[in-house]
Amino acid sequence: MLQQKIKKLAQNYWQEIIDIRRHIHTYPELSFQEYQTAEFIVSVLDKLGVERYANVADTGTIAYIKGKNPDKKTIVLRADIDALPITEENNVSYKSKNQGVMHACGHDVHTASLLGVIKILQDCKDDFEGTVKCIFQPGEETAPGGATLMIKEGVLEAQHQTQKPKSIIGQHVMPYLPIGTIGFRSGVYMASADELYVKVIGKGGHGATPENCIDPVLIASHIIIALQQIISRIGSPKIPSVLSFGKVIANGATNIIPNEVYLEGTFRTYNEEWRENAHQKMKKMAEGIAEAMGGKCEFTIVRGYPFLKNEENLTKRLKNFAIEYMGEENVKDLDLWLAAEDFAYYTQIIDGCFYRLGTRNEEKNIISGVHTPTFDIDEKALEIGAGLMAWLAVKELSME
């Protein structure tokens, strides 16, 4: 009966959740600048009469829904609130009004869904025991990641007369999953992500007299190609890894060899020992190639998020709860995903599960991937996302 009640409430609140999502989508803010977004979240929580604590890690917010016997058990639900530096190209009524900023990764969906969960659970407080701690986290898209700051603020500790949480659950849109479906993966799921910044220093000059130059363009070319050997010949094929350079600046001309070349890239993998080894190998190889060719190389690695691992028992339980709510045919198994998420920091401390919410609808031409200027969702996902997450929360609270 509780499942049917939650489904009915999700349906009843669906339009309100849509309105919340569209407001947030219209006024996106970049990482750690989400001041208006945070004010809006607090205003919604205050209208609901929810216990909340604002200005956590500056723009974050914590809210509590306490059922019967609130000290029995506490679990955490997490949503991220920041947007991306992308100019939106969708022609919709809720198109971004902040030029060059867009909710292109679905964080507006995550925030609206969690506010929907709170609305639902407020109406079900007599139907479950324990406490649901809801965190609205800033800065997922930018290192060091808002999760690290929220953790420092104690969100995974006993706070505000509640006990230490037992587990944390996160939900993220997936434009490759059809609307009406959900995806889970136990164990290792998402990759670590490091940023690579490389300066290759040579000696510029006229393109017609290369003998008088130390060509940093040629050196950089050798470095890019050689570094791929670290993945294909030094790294174990049993450990998925990706090394990609997406930015190369050689500010010369058809007949000008520049003094310097700049490279920017990313390295991603699933093993911390190999991650550290690869860092050393990349730096040593790049510097050695540059020196052998008469130049210099400054190789900087900005360490990003760790790999994300879903605790297997928790994920198995949540998947079964999702099958109860959605039907077995609508709950999918996910493959490894080499994107990165700062939710991984939470899972290093307590049991966590990060699952995927299908948003794709080919009939409506809603097919764009995240981080693109045409990303959008089938808004039916908001009803599913809020209802399912509320159901997962109360079911997990019921477990001994």
* Gap between the Cα atoms of 366 and 180, Å rounded: 14
What pLDDT is recorded for position 400?
80
The residue from 82, 88, 341, 383 that is catalytic is 82
CATH of 192-302, one of 3.40.220.10, 3.30.70.360, 3.50.50.60, 3.30.300.210: 3.30.70.360
Task: Evaluate if residue 70 carries a pLDDT over 90.
Answer: yes
Q: Is 269 exposed, middle or buried (0-12, 13-18, 19+ CB in 10 A)?
A: buried
The residue from 108, 140, 342, 383 that is catalytic is 140
Q: Who contacts 193 (Cβ-Cβ below 8 Å, separation ≥6)?
A: 266, 267, 268, 304, 305, 339, 340
pTM, to two decimals = 0.93
Same fold, 2-191+307-397 and 192-302: no
Q: Where are the domains of the chain?
A: 2-191+307-397, 192-302
Using an 8 Å Cβ cutoff, are 104 and 86 in contact?
Answer: yes
DSSP 168-187: EEEEEEEEEEETT-EEE--E
What pLDDT is recorded for position 16?
98
CB atoms within 10 A of CB 153: 18
Task: Enumerate long-range contacts of 232-236, CB under 8 Å, 24 or more apart.
Answer: 234/278, 234/281, 235/269, 235/274, 235/278, 236/274
According to DSSP H, which parts of the chain are helical?
2-12, 14-26, 35-48, 107-122, 146-152, 216-229, 272-292, 312-326, 343-347, 380-397
Answer yes or no: 82 catalytic: yes
Question: Which residues is 119 bridged to in the sheet?
Answer: none
Q: Which two tokens stand for residue 285?
A: 């190889």
Q: Which helix (H) or strand (E) holds 63?
A: strand 60-66
pLDDT tens digits for range 188-244: 999 999 999 999 999 999 999 999 999 999 999 999 999 999 999 999 999 999 999
* Gap between the Cα atoms of 134 and 115, Å rounded: 9
- Looking up tokens 């949480």 gives 165
pLDDT tens digits for range 139-184: 999 989 999 999 999 999 999 999 999 999 999 999 999 999 999 9
Q: Who contacts 39 (Cβ-Cβ below 8 Å, separation ≥6)?
A: none
Q: What is the CATH number of domain 2-191+307-397?
A: 3.40.630.10
C-alpha angle 212-216-220 in degrees, rounded to nearest 5: 150
Q: Which two tokens stand for residue 91?
A: 């022609």
> Half-sphere exposure (CA, 13 Å, Cβ side) for 227?
27
Using an 8 Å Cβ cutoff, are 282 and 227 in contact?
Answer: yes
**How long, in residues, is the chain?**
400
pLDDT tens digits for range 29-58: 999 999 999 999 999 999 999 999 999 999
